[in-house]
Structure 1
Amino acid sequence: MNVVFLHPDLGIGGAERLVVDAALALKSKGHLVRFVTNHHDRSHCFPETRDGTVGVTVVGEWFPRSVLGKCQALCAYLRMMLAAFYLVWFSGIKCDVIFVDQISVCIPILRMGTRAKIVFYCHFPDQLLSAGRENLIKSLYRAPLDFLEEVTTGMAHRILVNSQFTAALEALVPGEWDHLKLVIAGGYDSRVEENVSHYKELVELSKKLGIEDKMLFLQSPSELTKIALIRTCTALIYTPENEHFGIVPLEAMYLGAPVVAMDSGGPKETVVDGVTGFLTPPGDAGAVAKAMSGLLTNNDHHRMGAMGREWVKDKFSFKNFSDALNSLVATDE
């Protein structure tokens, strides 16, 4: 079958790793798979999308991501609608199944222009992740977007659901942590103002707390470096709040590292509290420190790491993932 993944920004984040793995899983079952996306930087992407393992077509990159730094969600919706228009009326790409990732507003366009099965991949509803609803202007801005998300999500044939670094820094105070080092590693895109400003903020905070000698910042590490870091770490601290899904905790557990994550979003489904790691209140540096102290004091990181690996192999293996996706694609409505 011809399978197309419609994705807003094919970078190197956790959501992108998950959707690329989904594409590889379907390709391993003999399906023809490609991406249509609003952005794909060959110097800032996963190797499978760069080396031709899966084809990538970029559409609508010229459309702005924001208006004077605002309205990012609205612009993302419009960019995905442009990609959908291109896919069904101008691309000539044959589609039997279309996976729509993250943004559902383009689904009506796909339903009008193609008979393909539409699968919406909802990591976590966007309206549940958007903060600042107490602000009247923000509430008025979000109201039509939330309505569109609710209505268009239900138009898919099938729905798949995966229902701050600052905390980590503040937990690393002098004393019991003297023998440890904190490595902060992740995707870094100089085009994204938030990435640039947050990196500077973290560097300044480490100096303010007097722990710069215990810090190592790695921007966009390679896959080999990332694997080496996780394999040799005591634990992985995963601080994003209300993350859609978060592939990083799964990667860490598979490699034998326990995970300390926020008790919100994706990690609530992937991390078993007290078994494969710990879930802590979002933004609570003290809770993160307590969890890490428990891992070290009781020498639990080896036991939890081993249990985490078995948990991922049992529930999230590539074979199970491939079989489930293939079954979904092959099943007629």
Structure 2
Amino acid sequence: MAKAANNKKTIIFLHPDLGIGGAERLVVDAAVGLQNRGNKVVIFTSHCDPKHCFDEARDGTLDVRVRGNTLIPPSILGRFSILCAILRQLHLILQVYATSELRLLGPDAYFVDQLSAGLPLLRLLDPASRIFFYCHFPDLLLARGRARWWKRAYRLPFDALEQWSMAFADTIAVNSNFTRGVVASTWPSLTKRKELKTVYPCVATGGTNENAQPGSILDGGEGEGKPLWNGKRFLLSINRFERKKDVALAIRAFAGLAPPQRKGVRLVLAGGYDPRVAENVAYHRELVALAASLGLSHRTAGTIVTALETPDDVEVLFLLSVPGALKELLLRNAALLVYTPRNEHFGIVPLEAMLRGTPVLAADSGGPVETVRDGVTGWLRSPERPELWTEVMDLVLNRLSEGELAHMSEAGVRRVRESFGETYMAERLDGIFDEMLASEAEGASSILGMVLLTASALVGVFVAVFVSLWYGWGKDSERVVWAEE
């Protein structure tokens, strides 16, 4: 029987791969926040590499246990990633149940994200506990490689399983109102039965001092250090080098400034870059070619040293795979963050910039509409009209007074601290879990129906696998893309 609301709870997290990413950052922040509020928290995952995970997952802050990783590999010859992920989740649940770990922990509730396939089994094995599912974004909209009919056939049972299994959660949460709208339009029957709650990801505010000396980050904390690029003003974009991020918009808008307007100013394009990823390499080349075609001098740097040694006459600087220290330095010193993605699910970078007092220029769609206050903490403009972005750049660089910019900077810091800090998210989650525990468990009304549907789903999965193998699925034809920052 579930505990009464407001009592300290035992909450079990189930996450597929506790590495480093936006989804993992949210899981870690949620777990730490709930733990700091007096709850017992345990994270079960199928994979956690101590060399490739967040500090809280390896330094003892959180109780992280790796289970369900001995029978099913992450993929089979580079294929069937989603099938393997589902089977690994089911294996994890069965293992912790069979070994009595769940019984000994006595969970009041589960926090599950990314994969909903295991929810029916979880409901069957532990009907008294509550299930909270966090939907970063519908996986069926993220999976790629549907050009051919047999590839679409392969995904069909997984898409159906995603919607059906999600209904076994007592509460479903999403990362933004934008995502909530997408989920509602994707699965209207689900949202008729379930009220979706919005729980925004957070940024760490406790250890951030927006008044810190900017140079001290790279100088070991001794004094102010040398100003970045001798105090040169710059506009900043932080995104992965992917076409959907539309980094080209920032280049076009910057090129729209007349030479006197951008004199002494640099556009810095920083972000994740992996030379093994073909799109990263190709898109970087496209952006370099675009800058050259617009008459902008440019340079690419891959290390902190080469970045800091950039000649003064370089107008566009590409920074590949920016380390944390340099990212912090850039966010603190930028005159403006230029955030170009449209229909971004949430977007954590604008919050990181505002927390450090940097105003934000973002697309007027997706998550930034909910985080950036137009004219107060930054600006929201249509990505279809680069000239509007150029106007904002000119406004920040040449027309706003220091007092006006300082006022906007203060508003941004206040906005993040009040609405997007880790304490706020933890309080919101704790309240939702209390509400669940005070109500009757939801989900399947018939265990027989649950078993039949599960069996049907598994049959569909194996049929899909057979079809895929029969038609000789290419190794890179399926790419499962889970939640991103």
Q: TM-score, normalised by structure 1?
A: 0.81
Q: CA deviation digits over 1:291-329, x for unaligned, max 9?
A: 444443443754443322222222223332222222223
Partner residue in 2 for 1:219:
321
Q: Which has the higher relative contact order, 1 or 2, with Cα contacts under 8 A spaced 6 or more apart?
A: 2
Q: How far off its partner does 1:105 sit?
A: 1.8
Partner amino acid, structure 1, of 2:93: A
Partners of 2:43 and 2:384 lie apart in 1 by: 35
Q: What stretches of structure 1 of length at least 5 have no aligned partner?
A: none
User: Is the contact between residue 167 and residue 283 of structure 1 (CA under 8 Å) also seen in structure 2?
Assistant: no
Change (3 A) 1:220 1:84: farther
Partner residue in 2 for 1:121:
134
Partner residue in 2 for 1:88:
97
User: Is the contact between residue 34 and residue 430 of structure 2 (CA under 8 Å) also seen in structure 1?
Assistant: yes
User: Is the contact between residue 256 and residue 305 of structure 1 (CA under 8 Å) also seen in structure 2?
Assistant: yes
Partners of 2:355 and 2:267 lie apart in 1 by: 22
* 2:121 pairs with 1:109: yes
Say which of 361, 365, 370 aligns to 1:269.
370
* 2:156 pairs with 1:143: yes
User: Is the contact between residue 342 and residue 383 of structure 2 (CA under 8 Å) also seen in structure 1?
Assistant: yes
Q: CA deviation digits over 1:136-161, x for unaligned, max 9?
A: 55544443333222222221111222
Partners of 1:242 and 1:323 lie apart in 2 by: 28
Change (3 A) 1:113 1:121: same
Partners of 1:177 and 1:79 lie apart in 2 by: 53
Partner residue in 2 for 1:166:
247
Partner amino acid, structure 2, of 1:34: V
Partners of 1:45 and 1:131 lie apart in 2 by: 26
Say which of 204, 217, 223 aligns to 2:285.
204
User: Is the contact between residue 167 and residue 285 of structure 1 (CA under 8 Å) also seen in structure 2?
Assistant: no
Q: TM-score, normalised by structure 2?
A: 0.58
Identity among equivalent positions (%) equals 40
Partners of 2:385 and 2:279 lie apart in 1 by: 18
* 2:406 pairs with 1:305: no
Partner residue in 1 for 2:333:
232
Partner amino acid, structure 2, of 1:185: G
User: Is the contact between residue 244 and residue 265 of structure 1 (CA under 8 Å) also seen in structure 2?
Assistant: yes
Partners of 2:136 and 2:345 lie apart in 1 by: 5
Partners of 1:132 and 1:254 lie apart in 2 by: 38
Q: How far off its partner does 1:130 sit?
A: 5.0
Say which of 176, 184, 193 aligns to 2:270.
184
Partner residue in 2 for 1:253:
354
Deviates more, 1:12-21 or 1:159-168: 159-168
Partners of 1:273 and 1:233 lie apart in 2 by: 19
User: Is the contact between residue 331 and residue 356 of structure 2 (CA under 8 Å) also seen in structure 1?
Assistant: yes
Partner residue in 2 for 1:329:
433
Counterpart mapping for 1:34-113 below 5 A: 34-60=42-68, 63-65=72-74, 72-90=81-99, 92-93=101-102, 94=105, 95-113=107-125
Q: CA deviation digits over 1:175-226, x for unaligned, max 9?
A: 454511314134x678xx5xx334423442344233224324242623x443
Change (3 A) 1:70 1:290: farther
User: Is the contact between residue 270 and residue 322 of structure 2 (CA under 8 Å) also seen in structure 1?
Assistant: no
User: Is the contact between residue 125 and residue 244 of structure 1 (CA under 8 Å) also seen in structure 2?
Assistant: no
Deviates more, 1:260-269 or 1:95-104: 260-269
User: Is the contact between residue 248 and residue 287 of structure 2 (CA under 8 Å) also seen in structure 1?
Assistant: no
Q: How far off its partner does 1:52 sit?
A: 1.5
User: Is the contact between residue 6 and residue 100 of structure 1 (CA under 8 Å) also seen in structure 2?
Assistant: yes
Q: How far off its partner does 1:118 sit?
A: 0.9
Q: How far off its partner does 1:97 sit?
A: 1.8
SS of aligned partner of 1:228: helix
Partners of 1:3 and 1:35 lie apart in 2 by: 9
Q: CA deviation digits over 1:227-275, x for unaligned, max 9?
A: 3321222223334555443333222222222233344443333233443
User: Is the contact between residue 185 and residue 221 of structure 1 (CA under 8 Å) also seen in structure 2?
Assistant: no
User: Is the contact between residue 234 and residue 301 of structure 1 (CA under 8 Å) also seen in structure 2?
Assistant: no
Partner amino acid, structure 2, of 1:147: A
Change (3 A) 1:284 1:102: farther
Change (3 A) 1:74 1:270: farther
Change (3 A) 1:221 1:130: same
Deviates more, 1:149-158 or 1:11-20: 11-20
Partner amino acid, structure 2, of 1:84: I
Say which of 39, 47, 52 aligns to 1:31.
39
Partner amino acid, structure 1, of 2:428: A
Partner residue in 1 for 2:468:
none
Q: How far off its partner does 1:60 sit?
A: 5.0
Alignment root-mean-square deviation, CA: 3.4
SS of aligned partner of 1:104: coil
* 2:13 pairs with 1:5: yes
Q: How far off its partner does 1:71 sit?
A: 5.0
Say which of 312, 319, 322 aligns to 2:423.
319
